[in-house]
């Protein structure tokens, strides 16, 4: 896996202003092919279409929640790389997402600089684990 930040990123969040914020964050990190989805059905379609290197996935989506989508993404590709995002982090949900294979679980209300740092560190850690 390339240690620089991935170029192809899929952002899955039902709130357009948060997708715009996350688009700025991943663009700052070097992503150039950024796609967006606002619900489960579109997230799965976009994943199949784009085959992104990284998925940023909101936990609280209308219809199916992010955990259900996470599990479906892993069914499509056991090597999918997903970072879960939320406005409210419950210990139980963090643990469930971790067990299901998420790389990290980040709060969406973090300052932009902190979000950039955490995403970069998460990606570099995932690269280190794969090459080890």
Chain segment 59-118, per-residue pLDDT in tens = 988 888 888 999 999 999 999 999 999 887 778 888 888 898 999 999 988 899 999 999
Contact 43, 71 (CB under 8 A): no
Q: 8-131: which CATH architecture?
A: 3-Layer(aba) Sandwich (3.40)
Residue with tokens 């684990």: 129
Domain boundaries, the chain: 8-131
Q: What is the 3-state secondary structure (H, E, C) of the chain?
A: CCCCCCCEEEEECCCHHHHHHHHHHHHHHCCCEEEEECCHHHHHHHHHHHCCCEEEEECCCCCCCHHHHHHHHHHHCCCCCEEEEECCCCHHHHHHHHHHCCCEEEECCCCHHHHHHHHHHHHHHHHHHHHC
- Give the pTM: 0.91
Contact 11, 26 (CB under 8 A): yes
Could you read off the pLDDT of 25-70 as tens digits, one per residue? 999 999 999 999 999 899 999 999 999 999 999 998 888 888 899 9
């Amino acid at each position: 896996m390339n240690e620089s930040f991935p170029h192809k990123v899929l952002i899955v969040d039902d709130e357009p202003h948060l997708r715009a914020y996350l688009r700025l964050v991943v663009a700052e990190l070097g992503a150039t092919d950024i796609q967006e989805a606002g619900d489960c059905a579109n997230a799965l379609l976009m994943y199949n279409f784009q085959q992104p290197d990284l998925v940023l996935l909101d936990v609280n989506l209308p219809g199916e929640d992010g955990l259900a989508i996470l599990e479906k993404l892993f069914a499509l590709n056991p090597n999918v790389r997903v970072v879960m995002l939320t406005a409210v982090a419950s210990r139980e949900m963090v643990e469930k997402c971790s067990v299901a294979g998420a790389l990290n679980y980040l709060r969406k209300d973090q300052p932009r600089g902190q979000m950039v740092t955490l995403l970069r560190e998460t990606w570099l850690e995932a690269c280190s684990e794969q090459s080890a």
